[in-house]
Amino acid sequence: MVACKDCGKEFGQRESMEQHYAAKHDKAPSNIPHSAHKKSNKKLSFAAVAVAAVLIIGYFVFFSDGGSEAKPLITGNSDYEINLDEVPKRPIHWHPKLTIIINGEQRQIPRNLGVGSVEYPVHTHEDVPILHYESNRPTPETMVLGYFFHTVWRKTFDNNCIFEYCNGQDGNLTMSVNGEPNLQFDKYIPKDGDDIVIRFE
């Protein structure tokens, strides 16, 4: 039971007594701190802020690259170190162009390669030689050009060979990106709109 301090009337609930006090005595009860009504709201606000802080911290920890130095990731045969800062940290839908020229003849890349019951993060459609990089969660392994050759197309490509053609008496392998020589070969991470040309001659 809760009693009104001024008139002594008793109430079964504090809320009823407060309503009586406000209506009959035209003021807030003196024996109830003003902050009492706000405690539950403050607790909820604090909890919301705490949850938001945890989510923000978690986001930065999860997506942080830990610095701008090149971090090695070795795949295939070349010794080139991949800079993990180049791996996108958001969903992508990129369209680099890949041209392969062997002894002056352009080799066709198969249409609809890497699509079907399973769709690879990089694949082709009807618009070859365009590659489609489509991924909600890009990783270093799936972003490098070698992934398309080794995993999707099941073909040889590194800093020494393209298909069955390897550096030696029969010719040399080169690669350019947007007209500039590039020595990353299978470790290169294509960007949207890149024009990649691989030559053996």
Task: Write down the pTM of the prediction.
Answer: 0.62
> How many Cβ atoms sit within 10 Å of the Cβ of residue 201?
13
60-112 pLDDT, tens digit per residue, is 555 544 443 434 444 444 455 677 889 999 999 999 999 999 999 999 999 99
Can you list the domains of the chain with their CATH numbers? 2-63 (no CATH), 84-200 (2.170.130)
Buried b (16+ CB within 10 A) or exposed e, 158-180: bbbbbeebeeeeeeebbbebeee
110-162 pLDDT, tens digit per residue, is 999 999 998 999 999 999 999 999 999 999 999 999 999 999 999 999 999 99
